[in-house]
Structure 1
Amino acid sequence: MTPSSLYLLTGASRGMGLAMARQLLQPGHTLITLSRQPSAELAQAAATAGATLDQWTQDLADAVQAAARLRQWLEAVPAGRFASATLINNAGVIPPIAPLSASGPTALVQALRVGLEAPLLLTGAFLGATGDWQVPRKVLNISSGLGRRAMASQAAYCAAKAGMDHFTRCVALDEAARPHGARVCSLAPGVIDTDMQSQLRGADPARFPDAHNFAALKDEGRLTSPEDAARRVLAWLDRKDFGEQPVADVREA
């Protein structure tokens, strides 16, 4: 059997994650998605494309279980099965938009578990289980400009993305010291026309002072479609210099 390229993608059920999954469904690719619900659309697309797709039903709020499942699966992979391996941590949660003082703990914990704890644990499981693989390995963490710029009423989301950026910097140092270390990058994908953008521009301005700025992005046509954003992100993943900047922005291309 000719070795295929392995892609592991979280948050593939909608938005840019779904668009990336569709674009990764190519002959010679094996795509495993981790989402709360499987997608009939993706299953059909995989059959049409002749690609290998395995959809794991996985609640990323239980990051310990998700990471253990991933590690166990990777450790059982026969040597030489894949020509390369890539983990894309895309899933994220935006909690109800409100100042931290008015935010409920359950929503805050959910946002941090899915947006920071899960990527960190999955990255550790991926790198640990594939450390002896003599093939190219990459970790792409989908970050946000809000991980690098503070915004009122977005403490949990901003904290999750800032944490993602910084743990990626740390992992880059770890992997640079290894003989066959993985290449890692935390990449901001730009502003995308997704459900998150709808939430932000539709928020009560009294609770979210930047609501008008997000409404302007939509009104002025400055949002990127999920499909175009996915193409730009995957193009960055394919760059020869991927990982030289552990924290980057797709708009820097």
Structure 2
Amino acid sequence: MATPHTHLTILTGASRGMGLSMAQRLLHADHHLLCVSRQRNDELTARAQASGAQLTQWTLDLSDATTAAERLGAWLGAQATASIASVTLINNAGVIPPIGPLGTCPPQELTRALRVGLEAPMLLTGAFLRATQAWVDAGWRGPRKVLNISSGLGRHAMAAQAPYCAAKAGMDHFTRCCALEEAQHAHGAQLVSLAPGVIDTDMQKQLRAGDPALFPDRERFVSLQQQGQLTSPDEAAERVLAYLARADFGSHAVADVRD
């Protein structure tokens, strides 16, 4: 039997920011990368062709997480596992609704933030674990990993950020729960909810553009940029993927890349 050689990775929010940087770094000849984003990225297609990597892109709105999870489960169930050496899910997509007190947040924006930031990672993780457990039950023995991209705001409350903080706190805690569940299995998956540090992305621009009257911590984010304390998306992606590759990945269900 041929040695499995393909490393399969599913990555959400891959069309820009740190997600795009991670996708670019995962384009190798021995990788199959499935990107799930609202928009297709033609640059990734070109880079995949140049590197010999296998790239699949789905244009999906993760606020419809049920559809995305059902599609992922079916897709994983159809894969030929004999060639797959490892499988990883990276839940990276997130949304910050209009910045301000909870009472000022439009209900539809609050709903979207929680669906993309918490409901989608939970449903996708559930679909991933079910489908790949079926691989294990059939004799497959490669490593299974789930990396949830969290935030320090999931661990430290901030005014005007209730939806985002709540989504990331929920991500941390459901990761803890699933890690306990998987630890009961002989070939369980490894799960980590990882804070990637403060990154210079569009999300940071949104925070700096907040109304000072509604967002008392705005100046903190302005100062981070002025003092050069923001990590570039490419550097953050390198650190996150290095953490994913650590031999002790999964030893702590909730972690910070700066630890």
Partner residue in 1 for 2:98: 96
Partner residue in 2 for 1:33: 35
Partners of 1:244 and 1:78 in 2: how far apart? 29
Partner residue in 1 for 2:51: 49
The Cα of 1:21 is off from its aligned counterpart by: 0.2
Partner residue in 1 for 2:88: 86
1:178-193 equivalence runs, <5 A? 178-193=185-200
Q: Which residue of the other structure, out of 22, 25, 36, is the alignment partner of 1:23?
A: 25
Letter aligned with residue 52 of structure 2: G
1:71-220 equivalence runs, <5 A? 71-131=73-133, 132=136, 133-220=140-227
Partners of 2:207 and 2:59 in 1: how far apart? 28
Letter aligned with residue 40 of structure 1: D
Tell me, what secondary structure is at the counterpart of 1:44? helix
Tell me, what secondary structure is at the counterpart of 1:190? coil
Partners of 1:45 and 1:145 in 2: how far apart? 32
The Cα of 1:79 is off from its aligned counterpart by: 3.1
The Cα of 1:129 is off from its aligned counterpart by: 0.3
The Cα of 1:116 is off from its aligned counterpart by: 0.1
The Cα of 1:78 is off from its aligned counterpart by: 2.1
Structure 1, 123-132 or 77-86: larger mean CA deviation: 77-86
Give the TM-score, by structure 2 length.
Answer: 0.96
Identity of aligned residues (%): 63
1:53-72 equivalence runs, <5 A? 53-72=55-74
Structure 2 unmatched ranges of 5 or more: none
Partners of 1:17 and 1:107 in 2: how far apart? 22
Structure 1, 1-10 or 60-69: larger mean CA deviation: 1-10
Letter aligned with residue 220 of structure 1: Q
Query: Do 1:144 and 1:190's aligned partners in 2 also have CA atoms closer than 8 Å?
Result: yes
Tell me, what secondary structure is at the counterpart of 2:187? coil
Partner residue in 2 for 1:227: 234
Please give the per-residue CA displacement for 1:125-152, whole angstroms capped at 9, x wherever unaligned: 0000001232100000000000000000
* Cα RMSD after superposing both structures: 0.8
Partners of 1:121 and 1:180 in 2: how far apart? 21
The Cα of 1:80 is off from its aligned counterpart by: 1.4
Partners of 1:211 and 1:40 in 2: how far apart? 34
The Cα of 1:249 is off from its aligned counterpart by: 0.2
Give the TM-score, by structure 1 length.
Answer: 0.98
Query: Do 1:3 and 1:80's aligned partners in 2 also have CA atoms closer than 8 Å?
Result: no
